[in-house]
Structure 1
Amino acid sequence: MLRAMQVFVRVVELGSLSAVARERHTTQPTVSKLVAALEDRLGVRLLERSTTHVVPTEQGRRFHERARRMLEDFDTAVADARGLTETPAGLLRVTEPVSLGVLRLNRLVQEFMRDHPDLEVELILNDRVVDLVEERMDVAIRIGAQLPPNMVARKIAVSPRRLVAAPSYLDTHPAIRRPEDVPAHNYLRFAWASDVVELHGPGGARTTPSLSGRYRINNSMAIRESLLMGTGIGLAPGWLVQDLVDAGQLAVVLPQWQAPPHEAFVLYPSRRHQPARVREFVRFIGERLAEQPGFAVPG
């Protein structure tokens, strides 16, 4: 029964009987027989099979999630009996926003892997809000207030947001000395963000200048590149542009004014017994992300 559950879980995760057969150094008929025996034991059909792939039925999807948790608990119990509870091992699946992953987190994940040679990591870069349980993710790093429900969420870093522009743009356009000067400039913004931003200044001052621009983009890396090209000004978080500001390639506009900061969270399913790989990664990323350019420890 245990072996059949292990095989079934991997079939769902890989989406292929033959892939599991190759992974386990066995044959596809053997894998198929194990899954069929499990279905007979439970009295339900767990998989829909075609000539190219397999997908779980509704019963299979629900059983997969419970079986996966049972197997993780079993692995934890075995590791505890062997004195290996604190040794991260196995497959860790992490999801992160695309631009943040490329610029800041990819290096951290690989650093974490170097420290834990028994670990495999699958890093999924995705800007949409992911259901960790539904998509079998162990950990998510997210920016902002849109957080999946029923997850443990820990704020691990903040990133200030300021107006920035390339020196080439500032040298060829009217000076920006106060927030009221901003609406006259070409503003680069995220495609579905508001045309109005809230800026906080000295002595608790606040203003909400209306911004206008001819170019809207749905990717932060493209905004970063456009700012570098001198296309206009933009309100950017430190994690996206701090290295360019430090190098003099971008300049902060109205340095005494900034928008509410980006907040970074680490999320994971609420489980009583987390595998060591998840516990250790949550601890690691909670310490290291705030050290990256453009981030700070939450206040």
Structure 2
Amino acid sequence: MDQIRAIRSFVRAVELGSLSAVAREEHSTQPTVSKTIAALEKDMGVRLLERSTTSLTTTEQGKRFYARAKRVLEEFNEAVSDARGLTEKPAGLLRVNAPLGLGQLRLNGLVLEFLALYPEIEVELILNDRFVDLVEDGVDVALRLAGELPPNMIARKIASAERYLVAAPAYLARHPEIRRPEDLASHRYIGFARPANGEVTRINGPAGTIEIATGSRYQVNSSLAIRESFLMGAGFGICPSWLVHDLLESGQLQRILPEWSASGQEASLLYPSRRYQSLRATVFMQFMAERIPKLPGFSAPVFGR
């Protein structure tokens, strides 16, 4: 059995959702394509596709195999092109995952600029605030902000952002003045979803590093919702500069205890394997590594921490 041909037929069947469509693309017949994929399943000892008269779906094993098989085909095609001395152009679909708030506020414009530079690349930008499994979800590149990075992924640190204590002028006008870090304990804190009893947060300033209690009646797992809560005068919080840079510039928010700040937030690009990386993923990461540090609220990465 020609395994490369069989894998290619399987990958296209998943993408097109039809064995007949694969047959037309390969100038073959539906029974031939079906037998090719069936032989691949028999050789592997697993069922990859569930077939019916009206639909074609992947099994759990098929879903996982598709993500890896697609990369195998890409690597094979690049190896052939390299052997023939051909110059490859960045092209094809690139699946990118990023946090929701960063994606909407800052990243969306950069992706559109990237697409203008590379007209043969398509980007599917998946925005959410959970850590996706890049291989399981078929993601080529992910942008991560702080947090623990998966040990089986390759990470490239590209930018840093300071973290400020901020609140709306309306909130500060209604509540006791904040003159020193100890005063924060009596104020309403809003932060990313945390345990109900709050947590201890470290901030850095003239007196070194101190701990402040950040108990709260309200936590939310969305940076955009936190941003909106600040604007509504619901409380104060500690947040990265990229999230509130424009609001600080316009005066809609202001820094509390500006000589104090929390440890910075680092932005990293993640990809599944150092062994193989498509050209479109390479140029995308190069573009983002150059442009993200120049966004408002970001700076060049800080290493050695």
| Shorter-chain TM-score above 0.5 | yes
Offset of 1:37 from its aligned partner? 1.7
The answer to whether the 8 A contact 1:185-1:212 is kept is: no
**Which of 86, 99, 102 is matched with 2:101 structurally?**
99
Does 2:139 correspond to 1:140?
no
- Cα gap change, 1:146 to 1:250, in 2 (>3 Å): same
SS at match of 2:212: coil
Q: How many corresponding residue pairs? A: 292
Q: Do 2:154 and 2:274's aligned partners in 1 also have CA atoms closer than 8 Å? A: no
The one-letter amino acid of 1:101's match is G
Paired residue secondary structure (1:197): strand
Shift of 1:154: 0.9
Q: Contact (CA 8 Å) 2:163, 2:238: kept in 1 or not?
A: yes
Q: Percent identity?
A: 49
Partner Cα separation in structure 1 for residue 113 and residue 193 of structure 2: 33
- Structure 2: gaps of 5 or more residues: none
Q: Residue 33 of structure 2 aligns with which residue?
A: 34
Q: Once structures 1 and 2 are overlaid, which stretch shifts more, 124-133 or 205-214?
A: 205-214
**TM-score (structure 1 length as normaliser):** 0.88
Partner of residue 121, structure 1: 123
Which letter does structure 2 place at the counterpart of 1:176? I
Letter in structure 2 aligned against 1:285: M
Return the letter of the residue paired with 2:95: R
Whether 1:297 and 2:300 are equivalent positions in the alignment is yes
CA contact (8 A) 1:158 1:263 kept: yes
* Alpha-carbon separation, structure 1, partners of 2:64 and 2:219: 41
Q: Which residue of 1 aligns with 2:206?
A: 202
CA RMSD of aligned residues (A): 2.5
Aligned to 1:246: 249
In the alignment, is the contact (CA less than 8 A) between 1:129 and 1:146 conserved in 2? no
CA shift for structure 1 position 239:
1.3
Q: Deviations over 1:62-114 (max 9, x none)?
A: 643443232111221344336323x2111111111111111111111111111
Rate the CA distance shift 1:30–1:111 in 2: closer, same or farther, 3 A. farther
Q: Contact conserved, 2:41 with 2:48, CA < 8 A, in 1?
A: no
Task: Tell me what 2:271 maps to.
Answer: 268
* Unpaired stretches in structure 1, ≥5 consecutive residues: none
Change (3 A) 1:254 1:25: farther
**SS at structure 2 position matched to 1:298:** coil
Q: Could you say which residue in structure 2 is the equivalent of 1:187?
A: 189
Give how far 1:256 is off: 0.7
1:237 to 237, 240, 253: 240
Shift of 1:294: 1.0
